[in-house]
Amino acid sequence: MKMPQEVYIVEVGPRDGLQNIEQFLETEKKVQLIKLLAQSGLRRIEATSFVHPKAIPQFRDAKEIISGILGLKDVQFSALVPNLVGAKNALESGVKELAFVFSISESHNKNNVNRTREESVQELEKILSLKKENPDMKVRVSLSTVFGCPFEGKVKEEEILRYIGRVKDLGATTITLSDTVGYGNPKQVRQIIKSCLNQFPSITFGVHFHNTRGLGLANALVCLEEGIMIFDSSIGGLGGCPFAPGATGNISTEDLVFMLDEMGIRTGVNIELLFEASRFLQNNLKDIPLSSHLFKAGPPKGWSYVCTTL
């Protein structure tokens, strides 16, 4: 199997990692966390979410977060948006890349964004139309519950492919396939990835795995073997959907980077600097332990790290 020589990591910790915790992390600390992540070499960071504060109070400071990081160079920031209002607010704040989310599962979509799937597709069409007035705008579509739903269980492959087709027909070119509650297994993931790549060769696919049942990195490895080059991960392994029962953390950025580095796959991330972000986050979260195995165990004895840049 021919795996990629380099991988692009989308750091989602400041958004997905923080959205499910009760403690409000102060705006200046969120900004500092993002700066530390950028210092480590992470070049794609999902910084916040433009949602109604009643839905996710953690991001009532979304505009202030963006204001605090706009001056950072060589980093591509994105923000999650569930609807047209969120998209407009994000663009007005200076965000250039929007991550629009909806679920393959009807039940989860209603719980997560209070819309049917068809209503979300219509909302995406409206958001994509904003490109006429915002030519620099990019939209990455994140499809949730691709590998299983906490309300409906298994998701049919034909439904996945059908909604990818709907998104493609609207003009989207980048799609992230998300395992929202960590139901995916390597055999299933390989089959779905193969089908998506075969049927939609013009789409750039990324993946987003949660490690709820301990299979996150195994699923990521399968995707590597199929040629996927874009991986979401979260600093410290934090994360989880507030509207999906049982959802817990994403695959850890530290663990993912360590695995890739040891396999000789370039990430451009310096683990020693990444640890500074991990320590900062752990020191500012009360009674919330990070789940990253590498952060807890530390590097192997006698191990030295040399950063390989993209």
Query: Each residue of 115-151: pLDDT tens digit?
Result: 999 999 999 999 999 999 999 999 999 999 999 998 8
C-beta of residue 174 within 8 angstroms of C-beta of residue 180: no
Spatial separation of the C-alpha atoms in residues 206 and 141, rounded to whole Å: 10
Q: 3-state class of 76 per DSSP?
A: strand
Identify whether 302 is part of a domain.
Answer: no
Identify whether 133 is part of a domain.
Answer: yes
Summarised one tens digit per residue, pLDDT across range 17-29 is 999 898 999 999 9
134 burial (CB, 10 Å; 0-12 / 13-18 / 19+) is middle
> Which residue range is the domain that position 201 belongs to?
8-297
Spatial separation of the C-alpha atoms in residues 37 and 65, rounded to whole Å: 14
- What CATH number does residue 28 fall under? 3.20.20.70
Q: Which residues of 54-80 are buried (b: 16+ CB within 10 A; e: fewer)?
A: eebebbebbbebbebbeebeebebbbb
Summarised one tens digit per residue, pLDDT across range 164-197 is 999 999 999 999 999 999 999 999 999 999 999 9
Identify whether 305 is part of a domain.
Answer: no
Neighbours of 187 (CB within 10 A): 9
Answer whether residue 310 shows pLDDT above 60: no
Residues 251-269 have a mean pLDDT of: 95
Identify whether 175 is part of a domain.
Answer: yes
Tell me how many domains the chain contains.
1
Confidence of residue 287 (pLDDT cuts 50, 70, 90): confident
Enzyme catalytic residues: 241
Identify whether 307 is part of a domain.
Answer: no
